[in-house]
Structure 1
């Protein structure tokens, strides 16, 4: 088993996380307008998640960042709802429990921040991710919430915290 560790993001991780997100998204057909791949936040994740009620974790495997995920208030949503955001892992990290650990940290932190609900949006075809969300208790909802700017997503979930 490789040495896997999870920690909060630092500025030195920004370029690596941008590279990971821009590598993983096309794997699932998430290219073009309406996807995080074009979100300017991708280039400065540490600053974005230094904002109030926000946190982002990176996962290192054998000392190399290979993925991450976090929570932040849902843009355009009510103050009791956060969003699980930018949870992406390279194939080399998948299946090692990193997603479940980032999910646990994110939801525990969201509760500590006082959020009552956690929203997320994803894309059909991200089957392993959707299984993790459903195993964690997320329920599929019919329509998007808030104003995330990611109009390319077509599957939406909500979890009561």
Structure 2
């Protein structure tokens, strides 16, 4: 069956929270100051009702296998949005699903009129960081905005 890409719905919350936390455990980055302990991880459909935000999910055979979105994080410069919560299940990796989710999010950022996309990550997530660099993201020396995810220590910016 084909993979369906669509915007988040309330029914996705539990599966997405479980997927995100599984990825964090897998990469041993399940610690405070990340989305792992962020209470909003359990109700993402509510979070993405915020204006100028969107969260895309990838679904295959009724199962959520990935997600990625953009969010106007507090404290970011005007015209800048954060690329957030890009995760795919272990079985979904290496198939271009994460890249499609990221591209849909970047296209949404352009649609909303943003001219920069910021992200935070971990050095352990080497495949994701490589994908970001190939997309045009550049490393920053310090974080932007107030995500609250103080444990992240890779910061990148894409100028659209």
TM-score by length of 2: 0.96
C-alpha separation in 2, matches of 1:37 and 1:124:
16
C-alpha separation in 1, matches of 2:78 and 2:8:
24
The aligned counterpart of 2:17 is 18
Give 1:78 deviation, angstroms: 2.1
The aligned counterpart of 2:153 is 154
1:38 aligned onto 2:37? yes
Look up the SS of the partner of 1:159 in the other structure.
Answer: strand
Question: Unaligned regions of 5+ residues in structure 1, if any?
Answer: none
C-alpha separation in 2, matches of 1:25 and 1:140:
22
Which aligned runs of 4 or more in structure 1 are off by greater than 4 angstroms? none
Look up the SS of the partner of 1:132 in the other structure.
Answer: helix
C-alpha separation in 2, matches of 1:126 and 1:82:
21
The aligned counterpart of 1:128 is 127
Give 1:106 deviation, angstroms: 0.5
Give 1:74 deviation, angstroms: 2.4
Aligned residue pairs total: 160
C-alpha separation in 2, matches of 1:154 and 1:109:
26
Instruction: Give deviations 1:24-60, integer Å, cap 9, x for gaps.
Output: 0122221221111011111111111111000001111
Query: Matches of residues 81-100 of structure 1 in structure 2 within 5 Å?
Result: 81-100=80-99
C-alpha separation in 2, matches of 1:18 and 1:28:
16
Give 1:76 deviation, angstroms: 1.5
TM-score by length of 1: 0.95
User: Aligned-residue CA RMSD in angstroms?
Assistant: 1.1
C-alpha separation in 2, matches of 1:27 and 1:123:
13
Give 1:127 deviation, angstroms: 0.8
